[in-house]
Amino acid sequence: MQFFKHFFASNDANSFHKEIKKLLGLKPTNINLYITALSHRSMKDAPEANNERLEYLGDAVLSSVVADYLFKRYPYKDEGFLTEMRSKMVNRQQLNDIAVKIGLKKITLYNKIDGSLKNSHIFGNTLEAVVGAIYLDKGYIKTHKWILKHLVIPHMFVDNLELIDINLKNKLIGWASKNNKILSFDLAEEKYESGRRLFIIHTMLDGEIISEGKGFNKKDASIIAAQLAVEKLGLLTIDNNK
């Protein structure tokens, strides 16, 4: 977006305030926090200048708000259910999709020449950084309300997520066994992204890759890979007896 380039060139704080208010529905108090939150390491290498530290903070804040939301929404569900639901709501692909939908991709400052970044999760990471910026700028209570209003309610469709089987791996394994298919979840790669170790898991069916999951731990990556696999195979049917 031209305004963003113009802002960094001319320090047009008024334009930046207006665009942030339009996208996020709030008026920044400390504008520098949002500049940092929108600055990827590929453009600003210094830890204090890019969004990695804010991403770390925002990840923790977002996770706590979602955990609180689920705890209150499901007073009789056990820890396993709540943990699985939280994973579905804040996984890397989900956050990346939400970030693109709300327009963060357009105003994130990153190296557009590097084609690999366009297909990565940097926009979801930026969303977490923005949550960290809001937390430092507005405090926890306002951030809590903002997350529910702008992320959870309009984008994290809890009722739909609840209908997805808790143990997707078992669903796939059962389907593969019934249909005489060879199924495996293979660790394809480990690399560092945003200063953290990223795991890439492939769902393999008869020796072919049918889905890929990425996460900052193997469990999250496997959950994402399994979910994508069952979607691709058309196995996400709703069991009306549940």
The span from the CA of 92 to the CA of 143, in Å, is 20
Q: Pick the closest to residue 183 from 236, 221, 233 (CA basis).
A: 233
Catalytic residue among 19, 52, 84, 128: 128
Q: Cβ of 223: how many Cβ atoms within 10 Å?
A: 23
Q: Where in the chain is the domain with CATH 3.30.160.20?
A: 168-233
The pLDDT of residue 7 is: 52
Cβ 90 vs Cβ 66: under 8 Å: yes
The span from the CA of 93 to the CA of 86, in Å, is 13
The span from the CA of 50 to the CA of 46, in Å, is 6
The span from the CA of 201 to the CA of 93, in Å, is 13
Q: Where in the chain is the domain with CATH 1.10.1520.10?
A: 2-163
- Measured on CA atoms in the order 110, 112, 117, 121, is the torsion positive or negative? positive
Q: What is the pLDDT along the chain (242 residues), one digit of tens a residue?
A: 444 554 544 456 677 788 888 899 999 999 999 999 999 988 887 778 899 999 999 999 999 999 999 999 999 988 888 888 898 889 877 898 899 999 998 889 888 877 767 667 789 999 999 999 999 999 999 999 999 999 999 999 888 787 665 567 777 888 888 888 888 889 999 988 766 788 899 999 998 999 998 877 787 788 788 888 888 888 765 443 33
- Measured on CA atoms in the order 47, 193, 150, 13, is the torsion positive or negative? positive
* E-strand stretches of 150-230: 183-193, 196-205, 208-215
Catalytic residue among 19, 55, 59, 165: 59
Annotated active-site residue 59? The verdict is: yes
> In the numeric block, which tokens belong to residue 197?
């170790």
The span from the CA of 88 to the CA of 192, in Å, is 22
CATH number of 2-163: 1.10.1520.10
Full DSSP string of 14-71: HHHHHHHHHHHSS--SSHHHHHHHTB-TTT--STTTSSHHHHHHHHHHHHHHHHHHHH
Q: What are phi and psi of 69, to 5 degrees?
A: -60, -45
CATH number of 168-233: 3.30.160.20
Cβ 199 vs Cβ 215: under 8 Å: yes
